Structure 1
Amino acid sequence: MRLRNKPWAKDFMAAHPDVLIHEEEGATIDWKSVFANENPIHVEVGTGKGQFIIGMALANPDINYIGIEHFDNVIVSALEKVIEAEKPSNLRLLRGNGANLEDLFQKGELDRIYLNFSDPWPKSRHAKRRLTHESFLARYEKVLKQRGEIHFKTDNRKLFEYSLVSMSAYGMNLQEVSLDLHAEMPEDNIMTEYEEKFSAKGQPIYRLEAMFNN
C-alpha cells in the first residue's frame, strides 16, 4: 500500500506528547505511570487510522488502550481522531514497530492483544511476516499475562485459515470462531475502517479469540 506523504505529520505529532508516545531504542516505558492507574492494558498491533481503538477506549473507560502503528503518515490520522474524541484518558498511541513488543512492554504486562485486518502476506516465502506466525505468537505470549488473549479479525480467508492452524499448532485454545461475524453482529462489536469497507461490499468478516495455555 502506497502511503501519501504528509510533511506536516512530525510536527503535529510532536505537539501532542500527552497522547502519542514514540518508541525509543533501549528505553522502557512505565505504562502504569503513563496511565496513572493499574487497570488492564489492551493493545492493538497495527492500529491504522484508529477508529477501533478509539471506540474501544470510549466504550470501556476502566481498561487502558494502546494503539501501535509504525508509519507516521498513518498514525497521524489516528492522532487527529483521538483529538476529535477529546483525548480519552485511557488511550495512548504508540509510534513504534509491533515486532518489538518485548522492548515496549514488560513480561506479562498486557491482558489482550488485537490483530485487526493485518497484511496477509500471501506469498509462501513471506509467511514469517504474518502477525499470526509462530514467531509472533511467541512474542505475544511473553508480554501477555497468564492465559492472555489474542482477538483477531480479517477479511482474508486464507490468512484466517493459516492463523487457525498456526495458533492450534502453538497450543492455543481457540474460542469464539466466526466465519461471518456480521451475520449475527455482536452488540459490542466495534468496527475498524477496513471492516466497514469490506462488510459494505458483502464480504464476510472472519474473527476468532485465542488464549495461551501458559
Structure 2
Amino acid sequence: MTKDADEATTSTVASPRVATQSDRRPWIPGETGIWVFIFIDLTVFLLLFALFMYERSEQLPLFNQSTETLNVGVGAFNTLLLLTSSLCVALGVDALRRRRAVAAQKWFIGTFLAGLAFAVVKSGEWTEKVGAGQTPDENKFYELYYVMTGLHFVHVVVGLGTIIMLWTIARRERVGHKYVRATEAGACYWHMVDLLWIVLFGLFYLMQ
C-alpha cells in the first residue's frame, strides 16, 4: 500500500510539472510561411539599403543636396500614419483574440484608413517631385528614391488588401483558431511594412 501510495503521489506531482513546461513553450504569432516571406523580403530590402549607403558614400555632396529637396514634414506625417496603423492592427488582433469582433472590425478599418492616407500622401509627393523635374533620370539619389519607395508602395497596396481580409475575418459569426492565426500573420506583414518605411524615412529624409 505504501508503494502504491508513493507511485500515486509521484504521478500527481509529475503531471503539473509537465503541464507547466508545455505552457512555457514560446508562442509565435502567425504562421511559419509568413515569417519565411518576411525574412526573404527584409533580406531584399537590406541589400537595397546597403546599395544606397554605398552610392551615398561615392557621391556624398550630391546625396546631401538631394536630401534637402525632400519635405521632412511630409515624410514625418507619413511615418505617423503608419505607426498609427500598426497600433490599430495590433489592437484589432487583440480584440479578435478576446472575441470582441465589433471592436476588431473598427480597429481594422482604422488601419485601412491610415494606410490609405499614407498612399494618397505619398502619391501626392511623387507628383510634386516629378512636376519639379526631380525624376529618376536626374541622379542616383532620385533613382534609388523612386525604386525603393515605389517597392515599398507596392507592399502598402498589398497590405491594404490584407487588411480588408482581416476585416472580413472579423465579420464572421465564428472565428476559430485558424482564422486568428491568419489574422496574426496579416498583422505581422503590416508591421513589416511599417518597419521598412521607418528605415526609408531615416535614409532618404534625415540622413545628412
Superposition TM-score, scaled by structure 1 size = 0.21
Q: Write 1 or 2 for the structure with the bigger share of strand.
A: 1
Higher relative contact order (CA 8 A, sep 6+): 2
Q: Write 1 or 2 for the structure with the bigger share of helix.
A: 2
Q: Based on CA coordinates, which of the two structures has the bigger radius of gyration?
A: 2
Superposition TM-score, scaled by structure 2 size = 0.22
